[in-house]
């Protein structure tokens, strides 16, 4: 877990061991959910580009033929994502989930559409159209978005590179993102949930984190200013995209319930969902996925509502830790205007150093 690599003083100050309730999965990544994979394409050319693409695949098959149950929650609607309307109408995801910057949504949508057509040549003709799901945050602090760096090829490369191990921080779509004033965009964490009948499930979170006011940041319940009172201020604006995955048999309504709980995680970290912040959560279940083969009925199971509490709690923990991971693994990159976002790890090391 991310806090194992933190300084001793920081660990002792914030006591993370006393903060989490649910155990993490073996990798503490969204890919602890069986079948889920993640891939990045990072575009950092040392000049104007600090951006990229991150792909999340619910399974390795044809998602248009075998979609997964899903839901979303728009906590704060300042965003330009594609695909959320149909997702909520049908309760399904039928393409890989692509994360990128605000101006990259169009090219990413086109790449997903073309990829689906290659697998299903009658899409848009004898078959229904496909609903590409692309979610975005604004990385314009260090990336020149007007250069339109993101391409269709980057989307395909990110999908083709997807696996169960992946980097966090300033990589892929998170390359140019800012979180509570620090560098860091991609973060992930997972939790294991055991129901009353001893059935074990996984719940994982991946965030594209680009939000927060530094002076309001809370780590394990304590303000960062309690650890280092010299904390410059800035307004809470930006965005966060939260993707949740589980192998528990949750239907779209239940997945919508866990999406809404992500707001509690942002509040624990110190966010108030500021103006010009697009805070969006998407959740899917790998259970009960079925082929669109024309069958009238399909068999499915569903988790009892009496078991939901642990999943709601695990969601808050996984999202909170995923955001902290995004900052912990973030690395400073000078932007196209010369501005550099600082590293949380370096900030903490400096704060922990003895003062003369």
Q: Of the residues 81, 109, 188, 239, which is catalytic?
A: 239
Catalytic choice (209, 279, 289, 310): 279
Q: What is the DSSP string of 205-217?
A: EEEEEE---GGG-
Q: End-to-end distance of the chain based on CA atoms, in angstroms?
A: 33
Mean pLDDT of 160-179: 97
CA-to-CA distance for 316 and 328, rounded, in angstroms?
18
* pLDDT, tens digit, 9 for 90 and up, residues 97-148: 999 999 999 999 999 999 999 999 999 999 999 999 999 999 999 999 999 9
Active site residue 285: no
Q: How far is Cα 282 from Cα 279, in angstroms, rounded to an integer?
A: 10
Task: Report pLDDT for 7.
Answer: 36
Catalytic pick from 72, 81, 190, 277?
A: 277
Place of tokens 């998170």: 174
User: Does pLDDT of 10 surpass 80?
Assistant: no
Average pLDDT, stretch 139-161?
96
Kindly state the percentage of the chain with pLDDT values over 90: 72
Over 80: is that where the pLDDT of 155 sits? yes
Closest CA to 212 of 190, 185, 239, 191: 239
Closest CA to 164 of 132, 204, 192, 133: 204
CA pseudo-torsion sign 303, 202, 52, 76: positive
What is the tens place of the pLDDT at every residue in 289-339? 989 887 888 889 999 999 999 999 999 999 999 999 999 999 998 889 888
Per-residue pLDDT tens over the stretch 199-239: 999 999 999 999 998 888 888 888 876 555 555 556 667 79
239 catalytically annotated: yes
- pLDDT digits over 54-70, tens only? 999 999 999 999 999 99
Please check the confidence at residue 2 and state whether its pLDDT lies above 60.
no
Q: Which two tokens stand for residue 320?
A: 């909170």
pLDDT for the residue numbered 281: 98
Among 320, 218, 211, smallest CA distance to 261 is for: 320
CA 166 distance to own-chain centroid: 13
- Please check whether residue 242 is in contact with residue 280, taking contact to mean a CB–CB distance below 8 angstroms: yes
Instruction: Identify the H or E element spanning 187.
Output: strand 186-194
pLDDT of 224 reads 73
Please tell me the CATH code under which domain 9-289+298-332 is placed: 3.60.70.12
32 is catalytic: no
Pairing of strands 178-179, 238-246: unpaired
């Amino acid at each position: 877990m991310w806090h194992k690599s933190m300084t001793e003083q920081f660990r002792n100050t914030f006591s993370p061991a006393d903060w989490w309730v649910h155990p993490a999965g073996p990798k503490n990544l969204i890919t602890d959910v069986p079948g889920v994979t993640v891939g990045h394409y990072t575009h950092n050319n040392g000049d104007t580009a600090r951006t990229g693409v991150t792909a999340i695949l619910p399974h390795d098959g044809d998602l248009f033929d075998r979609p997964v149950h899903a839901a979303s929650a728009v906590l704060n609607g300042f965003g330009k994502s594609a695909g959320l309307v149909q997702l909520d109408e049908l309760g399904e995801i039928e393409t890989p989930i692509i994360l990128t910057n605000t101006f990259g949504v169009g090219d990413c949508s086109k790449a997903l559409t073309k990829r689906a057509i290659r697998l299903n040549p009658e899409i848009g003709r004898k078959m229904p159209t496909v609903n590409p799901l692309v979610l975005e945050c604004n990385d314009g602090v260090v990336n020149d978005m007007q250069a339109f760096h993101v391409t269709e090829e980057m989307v395909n490369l990110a999908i083709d590179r997807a696996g169960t191990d992946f980097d966090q921080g300033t990589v892929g779509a998170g390359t140019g993102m800012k979180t509570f004033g620090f560098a860091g965009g991609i973060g992930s964490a997972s939790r294991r949930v055991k129901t009353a009948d001893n059935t074990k499930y996984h719940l994982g979170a991946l965030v594209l984190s680009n939000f927060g006011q530094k002076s309001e940041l809370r780590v394990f319940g304590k303000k960062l200013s309690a650890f280092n009172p010299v904390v410059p201020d800035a307004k809470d604006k930006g965005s966060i995209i939260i993707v949740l995955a589980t192998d528990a048999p949750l239907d779209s309504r239940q997945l919508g319930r866990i999406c809404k709980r992500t707001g509690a995680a942002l509040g624990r970290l110190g966010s108030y969902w500021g103006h010009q912040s697009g805070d969006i959560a998407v959740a899917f279940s790998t259970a009960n996925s079925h082929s669109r083969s024309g069958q009238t009925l399909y068999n499915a199971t569903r988790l009892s509502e009496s078991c939901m509490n642990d999943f709601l709690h695990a969601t808050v923990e996984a999202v909170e830790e995923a955001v902290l991971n995004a900052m912990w693994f973030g690395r400073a990159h000078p932007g196209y205007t010369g501005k550099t976002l600082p590293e949380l790890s370096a900030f903490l090391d400096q704060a922990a150093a003895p003062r003369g």
